Amino acid sequence: MNRLVLRRGYATRYSGRVVTELDNGRSLAVEVQVPSIQIIDPKGYCLPRRELVCKVVNILSKSSDPFNELSDYLETLNLTLTIAEASEILKSVHSASLALQFFRFCRSSIPNFRHDCFTYNRILMILSKSSSPDRLESVRRIVDEMERSRVRGNISTVNILIGIVSGGEDLDRCIRLVKQWELRMNRYTYKCLLQAHLRSRDSNKALEVYQDMSRKGYYPDVFAYNMLLDALAKDEKVDQANEIFKEMKRKHSDPDEYTYTILIRMSGKLGKPYDSIALFQEMVSKNLAPNLIAYNTIIQVLAVSKMVDKTIYLFSKMLENDCRPNEFTYSIILNLLVSEGQLGRLDEVVEMSKKYMNKGIYAYLVRTLSKLGHASEAHRLFCYMWSFHDKGDRDAYLSMLESLCNEGKMIEAIDLLSRISEKGITSDTIMYNTVFTALGKLKQISHLQDLYAKMKKDGPLPDIFTYNILISSFGRAGRVDEAVNIFDELENSDCKPDIVSYNSLINCLGKNGDVDEAHMRFIEMEEKGLNPDVVTYSTLIECFGKSDKVEMACRLFDEMLSVGCCPNIVTYNILLDCLERCGRTAEAVDLYAKLKEQGLTPDSITYSILERLQSGSHRKFRNRRQNPVTGWVVSPLR
């Protein structure tokens, strides 16, 4: 059996120091320092000492005073760092700012240490990935230091710098460094330079770089070609884009699906849909599978050109090739069908794509149709979604609820609200408030009361908006007692009345004949620390004016000005109307002058009041038009 014998090839010299010695001098103890043995690679370069690299990284990462501790550590053991070790440490430090501090520490605190191109490239690469706002300034200082230290960079240095800078003088400096360091730009350098100009949105210089690299026999890869084509297309440099596309196909690189998508979009914007179709067919003929972006681009081009049949046909091909449409795809087709009056074909689109119709797509279509005012189509799609999906989409249900309310279909809206829990959706306050608002506008008070009773019984809890909607709704219907009761409920709830609550109650009381109570609520509002706004003052001024309490209306207007609440054109119109009806023409004219001084623009109501002033017709009671503040139409108050 052969025995493996480990032999030391060369003698090793050890050094130590005496730590203890007996009085007789015959016995002593020596502390031996194990020498640091450098490992050499086959080419004769010293490899990094792993234990030293790990120790230094550990100190930098965990110490509260890393550089003092590192200095002590290196000085105590009489150690220094090699270029390779410094580079490894830089690579292992996770903070760019800490790496930069260590980079400077090496030069200033380690004897005989001098950075070379290798470590400069390492720190530049680290800074290139940093998100620090001053990283560009740090890079500039590093390059300045290289030049002062007469450290000659290599082409990798230039490539890294081009990838960092954003154009302008920094990019020009990179080109100067190529000449200064007597370097030769390679294909990757040209690619970096091309991309740098494109990042700075300078397609002219990018084109110059492309032409220069072509003369040198270098050509971009497909990614760089696509970037250049996209920039030229966005800058509407159509001829140059087409020429480069031809060169790309003829000599250097096979276009991919992104290349064709860029050119399809460009042709579409130029109003050349048939060129786009030809490019799409060429892409397919080269066995390139169009992706979602490609399909959406060509479908959009066809839709802009109002080609309904071709759009739907291409959509069907998209489905045949198992490319899943997204919301944008459906939005293009939906807007096309609406604009061309062919919304009936939406069922055809939905049917052919049933395989991909999830509740998110249904929800999107329901929301969009509702917003566009196509309630019946939205409801039909909503019914499909209800039938085919066990779980519902809250946004879709809320959109459908809003659509039904806007159409005045309150029975259907209340029914949907009661059944929404069947699809795993909890009805919330926003949904109830949506229905309450519609019922209030339609003055369907019995339904309003029933729904509110259900809400109080089953939840959710009313919020401040619920109470304000109810107060306003009961007031609009002339149900003053119910409005006051709701206000009392609000005061006793966890919510507290706000300015809107008081405005709604004051409006309700004043417009229904109880001006004194409205004024008392106004005073109560101020006592509770709520500052009346322009709506509060305007409402109460109108109430006083319609009840022939003109002096009170004028006093309230003056108070409004004194507390710094600026009247708007509605407030002026209300008081102007009040003064004109009472025959106080001079005061009305002075008020109109004050209106103009404030820089307000008279509207049609202002001019109609002025016409009555000029004609001298002062009828005390007239048919009421819709109130500009509340939107209510009520009988004049006597």
The tens digit of pLDDT for each residue in 564-622 reads 999 999 999 999 999 988 888 889 889 999 988 888 999 999 999 888 888 765 554 44
Least confident of 66-70, 119-123, 251-255: 251-255
Q: Which two tokens stand for residue 98?
A: 């800490």
Predicted confidence at residue 32, as pLDDT, reads: 57
125, HSE (Cβ side, Cα atoms, 13 Å): 16
284/499 Cα distance (integer angstroms): 64
Checking if the pLDDT of 14 tops 70, the result is: no
Computed over every residue of the chain, the mean pLDDT equals 86
Predicted confidence at residue 296, as pLDDT, reads: 96
Checking if the pLDDT of 636 tops 50, the result is: no
Average pLDDT estimate for 162-191: 89
Predicted confidence at residue 440, as pLDDT, reads: 94
168/570 Cα distance (integer angstroms): 56
70/77 Cα distance (integer angstroms): 11
Predicted confidence at residue 628, as pLDDT, reads: 45
Average pLDDT estimate for 126-134: 89
Element (H, E) at 29: strand 28-33
CATH class for the region spanning 532-637: mainly alpha
Element (H, E) at 143: helix 135-148
Token pair 């500039």 in the structure block, residue: 140
345/351 Cα distance (integer angstroms): 10
95/91 Cα distance (integer angstroms): 10
State the amino acid at position 353 in one-letter form: S
Checking if the pLDDT of 386 tops 90, the result is: no
Average pLDDT estimate for 335-352: 91
Checking if the pLDDT of 99 tops 90, the result is: yes
What percentage of the chain reaches a pLDDT higher than 70? 89
Predicted confidence at residue 420, as pLDDT, reads: 87
Residue 11, by phi and psi: left (phi above 0), alpha (psi -120 to 50) or beta?
A: beta
398/395 Cα distance (integer angstroms): 5
Predicted confidence at residue 460, as pLDDT, reads: 93
Predicted confidence at residue 78, as pLDDT, reads: 84
The tens digit of pLDDT for each residue in 237-258 reads 999 999 999 988 887 678 999 9
State the amino acid at position 134 in one-letter form: D
What percentage of the chain reaches a pLDDT higher than 90? 53
Average pLDDT estimate for 313-327: 94
Q: Would you say 487 and 497 are in contact if contact means Cβ atoms under 8 Å apart?
A: yes
Predicted confidence at residue 15, as pLDDT, reads: 57
pLDDT band for position 144 (cuts 50, 70, 90): very high
Cα dihedral across residues 192, 195, 199, 204: positive or negative:
positive
Least confident of 38-52, 215-229, 570-584: 38-52
Average pLDDT estimate for 387-403: 79
Collapsed DSSP state (helix, strand, coil) of residue 16: strand
Checking if the pLDDT of 46 tops 90, the result is: no
Q: Is 94 exposed, middle or buried (0-12, 13-18, 19+ CB in 10 A)?
A: exposed
pLDDT band for position 214 (cuts 50, 70, 90): confident
pLDDT band for position 502 (cuts 50, 70, 90): very high
Predicted confidence at residue 428, as pLDDT, reads: 93
Predicted confidence at residue 634, as pLDDT, reads: 34
Least confident of 355-359, 590-594, 621-625: 621-625
404/438 Cα distance (integer angstroms): 9
Average pLDDT estimate for 397-418: 88
Checking if the pLDDT of 26 tops 80, the result is: no
Predicted confidence at residue 406, as pLDDT, reads: 86
Checking if the pLDDT of 231 tops 80, the result is: yes
Predicted confidence at residue 38, as pLDDT, reads: 55
Average pLDDT estimate for 86-106: 92
547/507 Cα distance (integer angstroms): 14
Residue boundaries of the structural domains of the chain = 59-129, 532-637
pLDDT band for position 453 (cuts 50, 70, 90): very high
Checking if the pLDDT of 31 tops 90, the result is: no
Checking if the pLDDT of 528 tops 50, the result is: yes
Element (H, E) at 32: strand 28-33
As a whole number of Å, the CA-based R_g of the chain is: 40
Least confident of 316-320, 339-343, 389-393, 541-545: 389-393
Checking if the pLDDT of 449 tops 70, the result is: yes
